[in-house]
Amino acid sequence: MVDALLENHLAFLAAHRGDVRRSADAIEVVGESEEFSVWIPLSPSAELPAGVNAVRLVPDSGPGWEERLAAAGFMAAEVLVHMEAPAGSAQGEPVAPITTERDAEAFAEVQGAVFLEVGEPDYDWWREMFVERAVQNYCAPNQSLYLLRVDGDPASITLVLRTELVTGVYAVATKPQYRGRGLATRLLEQARQEAAGGRLTLQVVEGSDAERLYLNLGFRPAYRSPHFRRP
């Protein structure tokens, strides 16, 4: 059985990044961008498909995969850490989720400002994809998209996605000029309230500034998910 934290993350990928295909012994994520495409084995005996360029290991993958992947020419890449924090009552004024297409577009604007650099490959494609996914998902019953403005300017965002057992936090982003004002912390407190005493999770790259921030906010590692890629 796939871990509930991973199930939540897969639900996010299916809604925002591509297709999630399952079989008895593996999960394949076919991303709209190649960087999100990955194969996840769910048993030690799963057969590595030909043509796979990225593999992600999870607890259900079992032992021996690092050696098998090294023998097949894969190299260790980033490690994604699934973190979890106790849910609880939000501190401060509640934040309402967005309810209009205009705010969904503003949500996507913040994503582009934080996660993209002007002039990078596929910049325009990513901006359009962010808008398309925000507009498609802001009124989904299992999701809440949050946006804080400063003097009318879209400043900080997060996305909360609910599965049966878990509330997941995604797309936490604040424009550089608005950092240090506690905006992201306010949105994370809102996510705690949404979790309503259940499990609250997010994912970060191991060793990143984000990981240190979330540790300070009470999140703790649940498990590591190493990635391997062909050179």
Domains of the chain, each with CATH number or no CATH = 4-84 (no CATH), 88-197 (3.40.630.30)
* Structure tokens that stand for 204 in this block: 């970060």
96-108 average pLDDT score: 98
* Structure tokens that stand for 137 in this block: 């998902």
Q: Is residue 92 predicted with pLDDT exceeding 60?
A: yes
- Asked if residues 188 and 158 have their Cβ atoms less than 8 Å apart, the reply is yes
Query: Tens of pLDDT along 105-145?
Result: 999 999 999 999 988 888 999 999 999 999 999 999 999 99
Cα(114)–Cα(86) distance, integer angstroms = 27
Cα(183)–Cα(204) distance, integer angstroms = 19
Cα(181)–Cα(178) distance, integer angstroms = 6
Model confidence at 90, pLDDT cuts 50, 70, 90, reads low
- Asked if residues 44 and 26 have their Cβ atoms less than 8 Å apart, the reply is no
* Structure tokens that stand for 3 in this block: 């871990």
Model confidence at 89, pLDDT cuts 50, 70, 90, reads low
What whole-number percentage of the chain has pLDDT above 90? 81
